[in-house]
A and B are shown apart, each in its own frame.
Chain A
Amino acid sequence: MFKKRYGEQHITYRELFKKGDIGMKLSFIIMGAANFANKQILKGCIFLAVEIGFFAWFIQNGIHALAMLQTLGTKKQGLHYDTNLGIDVLQKGDNSMLLLLFGIAAILLCIVMISMYIINLRSARHIYETKAAGEPVATLKQDLSSLVNERFHITLMTVPLLGVLFFTILPLLYMISIAFTNYDHVHLPPKNLFTWVGFSNFGNVITGDMASTFFPVLSWTLIWAVFATITCFFFGVILALLINTKGIKLKKMWRTIFVITIAVPQFVSLLVMHNLLNDAGPINAMLKNWGVISTSIPFLSDPTLAKFSIIMVNMWIGIPTTMLISTGIIQNLDQEQIEAAEMDGANKFQIFKSITFPQILFVMMPSLIQQFIGNINNFNVIFLLTGGGPSNSNYYGAGSTDLLVTWLYNLTVNTMDYNLASVIGILIFILSAVFSLWAYTHTNSYKEG
């Protein structure tokens, strides 16, 4: 219904150019001309200002920014022989990183400009059509009132979308581009230049030197995500059922005890856990005092045990959340069905397995999928608990418990291999996208939005 209204009624821009009056024809070169000709002064001024501003910027900076995008700079910083002076002088080199960033920003600005141009033409066409229909052209007052009516979405969304454009899309395009350059620790601007290298970074990660780090880290990421999601969900539901058992008193108090742990900021609780489980930490010390063990249990310093500890600690964090969410669902379960099953002689476990659990699972499927993707990207738990350690000499820039995201973080902050980090980021994106797509098509309780 809406498509029709947008698509069919309008004349093409070619027709507009042929049939329109002089103001409309001028609109194709001077933005806002049609608006001026029809007394929409403010609108015309805005269009004109945008055009003048854009071209001033484009001639001053834009052309240069776009041109430099091809090579990402050619002048290297350093001493160069100056023939006039006859000595070496320090030359200020190109900064590939800034050139790339400004280049992409320039492309985005051009796109914004093109869409403004189209809006200008559309405005001219609208004037033409209202005139052709014999109606008066909209005044400023009518235009403003349409901003709280049929064009209300423009009022509400313009500012947020500008934020998205400059703080999400621009950085993202920049980092995606980095994946196709050789911006690593030997090509750091401003001292050195980097340039386009095509797909070789992807080759490096999947089949080259980095494969021996990438695949083990990937498999641990997947194992972690599966176990972290399932354990938290399963035990969270059981905890909720325990608290909701008939005859248990002080339900609210029990719930609050567990809710406290959600509320404590994660970096506090995780750093505390990190200290508690330290080789010299209180848990090991106490166990030694009691004579249970003679040497410290390497909770976080043995590669295998560390993975186990991480999943355990994650249960400490995640179970209360599931408990809180599933409590509502459990309270709404059909009690008669459960009573009927009890009459028929089903025991508690059978009721749980065949009635309660499937219903909860169905309702919670979307949030489970979100949790799974969240766990693939679970930075906090790994970073604060083990910092990726214990270190693993077979890996490049990653420890035994590093997930792909924490490896990405290490690659940008510690080893400065931005190109590899970007490749990892893109691969994480593909992983989440494929999984969401699969979930989207294979589960019936998962709907758009």
Chain B
Amino acid sequence: MNARQRHEARSAYAMLLPSLIGVIGFLLLPVLIVLALSFMRWNLISPPEWIGLENYAYILTWPRFGNSLLVTGLFVLMAIPASIAIGLLLAIAINRGLPGTSWLRVLYVLPWVCAPLALGVVWKWIFDPTNGALNAILGRRIEWLTDPDLALPAVVFVQIWSTVGYISLFFLAGLQQIPRAVYEAAMLDGAGSVRTLVSITLPLLRPTMFFVTVTSVISSFQVFDSIYAMTGGGPAFRTDVIAARIYDEAFVGLRLGRAAAMAVVLFVVLVGVTLVQQRYFQRRITYDMS
């Protein structure tokens, strides 16, 4: 290494220093701390006490944690396929380029820039049984957020409502990369619109599909703000998603060790889900579009 290279390396390390504080101090260190806390009993008042695997043994047999995993799974399974299907339809519809439709996409993306908490509060009013907008339109009294059978579908609906526009933007970008010639060839071969969608559009959108699925699954697994605003996890824990359970254990119940153990389990589940999705999409044939 000559003097000039040494100088360059020194400036590089100096420039990386602030972000290294962030990455080490506020991302990697917290992961180690949460792992350590998951083996401890801690209520914020008395000092943490090492209890080994007790937290894990407890939560893995705890029906309420099982319920949260189930609720989160159902939430993801209901929200993701619907928002991807609707997002794709929106993208295809916008991509047809009909006059006056391109500005509409601004409306669809609007919820994405808004605070999920504030949107959750707005939807809580819309779902309000007595004074809410929805029942006023329907002319009936339906307990959207307090009926145990309706609460989860209702919060799933809000999730779909707030993510479809954002998802459609990615599909739109993907659709615009498909060469026109491919469609013209399909048309000459006499392929109908359904056939074109299944045999051409969907396979060519695979990279977009992968990206959208992975990011949506990861964010849906962590959904918190809108649920906090609309149901707070109720009624009867029917919308008690995993993030809400972790928050409740840690900061309402003051059982931080147990909450840390649940956070570790969530982390492992999310890494697992990402790897499985990666394998699934890699196994299917990929097309070279260059």
A binds B: no
